[in-house]
Structure 1
Amino acid sequence: MKNKLFLPLALIFCLFFLWAISSNLLPTMIRQLMKTCELNTFQASFTESAYWLAYFIFPIPIAMYMKRYSYKSGIIFGLTLAALGSFLFFPAAIIKEYWAYLCIFFIIATGMCFLETAANPYITSLGSSESAPRRLNIAQSFNGLGAFIAAMFLSRVVLSGNNYSRDTLPLDYPGGWEGYIQVETDSMKTPYLILALILIVIALIFFFVHMPKTKDEEESTITIGEKLIDFSVLRIPHLRNGVIAQFFYNGGQTAINSLFLVYCCTYVGIPKNTATTFFGFYMLAFLLGRWIGSMLMIKFKPANMLLVYSIINVLLCMVIIIFGGMVGLYAMIGVSFFMSIMYPTQFSLALSGLGDKTKSASAFLVMAIIGNAMLPQATAYIMHINPEIYQAAYIIPLICFIVCGLYGWRGYKIK
């Protein structure tokens, strides 16, 4: 049985890797779009809004689709849609308008939303509920690997290290300002071409590989008039609390992630090449946190780890707010390590004991990612209007980690 599950599980792990590549390219793209579309920090932050808005709009329709058909069909459709969106970077490089990029990120995110709505509950359903948090953390470690690759390597493909303005551009630059913008715009196409080709290959493999049905899929039968989405799951306290905790966790994590390069380059004054190296270390800390956290869950209760990690991150956010600068930068790397287990742990605790309600519950947990489209913008706005005390903006992630701590303390308990 285990041998039969090896290939399906390996393919599901690939999905965690792929959507991490997509979402963790956003901080790099924000920095690049500030240059190519001449945006300020607040304006560029709407790149995150366009991406994560899809995660609020589509999880319920996706859950209905997968309940009617299967996890597998939803995954294949999502992979294909995300690949289509990635290919659209080529016509966007001709248009060179900010709205075009926002539309592209929305399309890619819709495809990735299919993957995330399917993969998280699929992993939690293949095995005992007691080991689900650890199992999901192991799967999410591949998400951390994708984040590290996006930060350390693909970001260097996009960011050239040249940060000219109209006034500082060398007079002998080929093609002048338009030539410079075209070069910087073209650099955004390569990582998305690579991503699109990988997505297509994985979709073809999924098409031909048998994916075992989960327990809830085997037991569930659709009858005429039956609801494809169950809104009553929100009456379950530990799920409802989990949705709230996921909203704040996602917003806090993305606020730090998306503004990391802006923090380094704009406010601390670090060169881009050095900043991308720090971003790589930041994501490496996230990856190590996932692996180490998964091992620690053999001995410690996931909820207790969530509480302790949240408290540590609250303290680290206080360091960022008080000191800023390089001290704040090193504190952010610590935050990355300790927030690594939070998303999968909260997700699996919220799905505990839900049975055939899992797909509906998963949709609402994925919808909570709308926090990514709201809280980072608030953080960026505070940073933009208070350039002298820019680090005060990190009060928002601090509040987010307090909410996560409350969930690990009492909110997760099944009543």
Structure 2
Amino acid sequence: MALVAPTSVAAQPDTGQETPRYTSALSSLTVLFFMMGFITCLNDILIPYLKTIFQLNYTQANLINFCFFGAYFVMGIPAGWVVQRVGYKGGMLAGFVVAALGCFLFYPAADSRSYPLFLAALFVLATGVVLLQVAGNPYVAILGPARSAPARLTLTQAFNSLGTTVAPLLGSWLILSHLPTLDTPQAAAAIDVRAVQIPYLGIGAVLLVISVLLGLLKLPKIVHAIRQDDARSQAWHYRHLVLGMVGIFAYVGGEVAIGSHIVSYLHLPDVMSMTPAAAGNQVSYYWGGAMIGRFVGAYLLNRFNPGRLLAFNAVGAVVLVVISALTRGEIAMWSLLAVGLMNSIMFATIFTLAVAGLGRHTEQASGLLNVAIVGGAVVPLLFALVADASTLRVAFVLPVLCYLYILWYGLKGHVPQQQ
């Protein structure tokens, strides 16, 4: 992490290129985004692991996503208040410490083989991630020219995707490789829970080290200029923000619903008949596509209209999901994994379009947008209910609906209207 001199800067409209000081600060934040992605994507590994150890159906296993992303709904607005009081850096520091506590709680949860304790630990871990999101995303969005905000946040989100790419590979090796060949109650009772305890203890320790290093950094402080036309308003009075909240809900819901069920989908006989460990390795292609797409998107978003590029990617996601649902074998696998490439720019673009022009309401808006990440709890649970009632293929209609909304938001919904 690079150290930068302390400074206060006013959040302004596009006034030019980013300064080297901004560049140093943004470079320092890449570790934050990497860890957020790494922690979140490990849920894709935890779901098949806990599904086996506790003999759960799809709906029960998706309580993992419900508790993790449900924390965004419960803690999103409080996190916004915290960031308003302690600042962006203080919010990030608190986020790392709380997330570390959640990781440490995995040890007693695994030791007691208690599914409710696992869910409680996930909620605490997610609360820390919520603080990191609420502080980190708007900080990147406003730390520089407004015109390049989508590209800037997309670039830092690429390091988030690096974390989501590494997590399935490491998680499959450390966790899924310990699953038994036969999925029976007797085999589940013999699973070594240290496969979960040791990795999460290590992650917690790393988070604490990062918090110490972050405390030593002197990041630029943001001071919002107060406009006369926003003196009486609240963030939710802005239509493009409210519609952006729905967009974030849809994006996270669709992305997580797909990512959380790739292992189960590739395990199906009419898809690839892969073992959980082998299928877990394939998940890295899904998130790796998002990483590549974000690096490319950071370039493209500086040259093309962000809303239109968002719509283009949404169309691509719809086409790929439909192809996967209607085919078998490698075509079904690779078309679904390629959806990650289409997901790449969605979060950053929706987020920056939604907070555009909000000024002093940016922290509040960030909290509201993070509440909308509860889509990662709701949509996968609905996906699981449909899968239990019919098939995984039929359940893919839900992500399709999510991407169709994002298509509309990119074309029309993000355009601000006069108050």
Q: TM-score, normalised by structure 2?
A: 0.89
What is the aligned partner in structure 2 of residue 244 from structure 1? 246
Which of the numbers 47, 67, 74 marks the counterpart of 1:57?
Answer: 74
- Tell me whether 1:153 sits opposite 2:170 in the alignment: yes
Q: Secondary structure in 2 aligned to 1:214? A: strand
- Tell me whether 1:355 sits opposite 2:356 in the alignment: no
Q: How many residues align?
A: 393
Mapped contact 1:35–1:163 kept (Cα < 8 A): no
Which of the numbers 42, 48, 64 marks the counterpart of 1:31?
Answer: 48
What is the aligned partner in structure 1 of residue 394 from structure 2? 392
Mapped contact 2:96–2:129 kept (Cα < 8 A): yes
Q: Secondary structure in 2 aligned to 1:310? A: helix
Mapped contact 2:72–2:130 kept (Cα < 8 A): yes
What is the aligned partner in structure 1 of residue 182 from structure 2? 164
Partner Cα separation in structure 1 for residue 133 and residue 35 of structure 2: 10
- 1:325 positional shift: 4.6
Query: What is the 5 A alignment of 1:101-116?
Result: 101-116=118-133
What is the aligned partner in structure 1 of residue 13 from structure 2? none
What is the aligned partner in structure 2 of residue 310 from structure 1? 314
Partner Cα separation in structure 2 for residue 299 and residue 211 of structure 1: 29
Mapped contact 1:125–1:215 kept (Cα < 8 A): no
Query: What is the 5 A alignment of 1:158-307?
Result: 158-160=175-177, 162-166=180-184, 169=187, 178=189, 180-181=190-191, 183=192, 185-216=193-224, 219=225, 232-266=234-268, 268=271, 269-307=273-311
Mapped contact 1:157–1:190 kept (Cα < 8 A): no
Residues 347-371 of structure 1: CA distance to partner in whole angstroms, max 9, x if unpaired? Answer: 0111111111111111111110011
Q: TM-score, normalised by structure 1?
A: 0.90
Which of the numbers 317, 337, 343 marks the counterpart of 2:341?
Answer: 337
Partner Cα separation in structure 2 for residue 255 and residue 127 of structure 1: 33
What is the aligned partner in structure 1 of residue 108 from structure 2? 91
Residues 306-330 of structure 1: CA distance to partner in whole angstroms, max 9, x if unpaired? Answer: 0111111111121122225542221
Could you tell which deviates more after superposition, 207-216 or 374-383? 207-216
Mapped contact 2:110–2:118 kept (Cα < 8 A): no
Relative to 1, partners in 2 of residues 1:163 and 1:381: Cα closer, same or farther, differing over 3 Å? farther
Q: Secondary structure in 2 aligned to 1:330? A: helix
What is the aligned partner in structure 2 of residue 138 from structure 1? 155
Partner Cα separation in structure 1 for residue 88 and residue 98 of structure 2: 15
Partner Cα separation in structure 2 for residue 4 and residue 313 of structure 1: 37
- 1:236 positional shift: 1.0
- 1:163 positional shift: 3.0
Opposite residue 8 of structure 1, the aligned amino acid is A
- 1:277 positional shift: 2.5
- 1:266 positional shift: 4.6
Q: Stretches of 4+ moved more than 6 A in 1?
A: none
Structure 2 alignment gaps of length 5 or more: 6-18
Could you tell which deviates more after superposition, 357-366 or 260-269? 260-269
Partner Cα separation in structure 1 for residue 403 and residue 328 of structure 2: 19
What is the aligned partner in structure 2 of residue 346 from structure 1? 350
Mapped contact 2:83–2:134 kept (Cα < 8 A): no
Structure 1 alignment gaps of length 5 or more: 170-176, 221-226
Could you tell which deviates more after superposition, 268-277 or 286-295? 268-277
Mapped contact 1:324–1:391 kept (Cα < 8 A): no
Q: Cα RMSD over matched residues?
A: 1.9
Partner Cα separation in structure 1 for residue 305 and residue 25 of structure 2: 28
Relative to 1, partners in 2 of residues 1:166 and 1:271: Cα closer, same or farther, differing over 3 Å? closer
Opposite residue 261 of structure 1, the aligned amino acid is V
**Seq. identity, %:** 30
Could you tell which deviates more after superposition, 273-282 or 34-43? 273-282
Partner Cα separation in structure 2 for residue 391 and residue 45 of structure 1: 17
Residues 184-225 of structure 1: CA distance to partner in whole angstroms, max 9, x if unpaired? Answer: x22012321221111101111122221211132xx57xxxxx
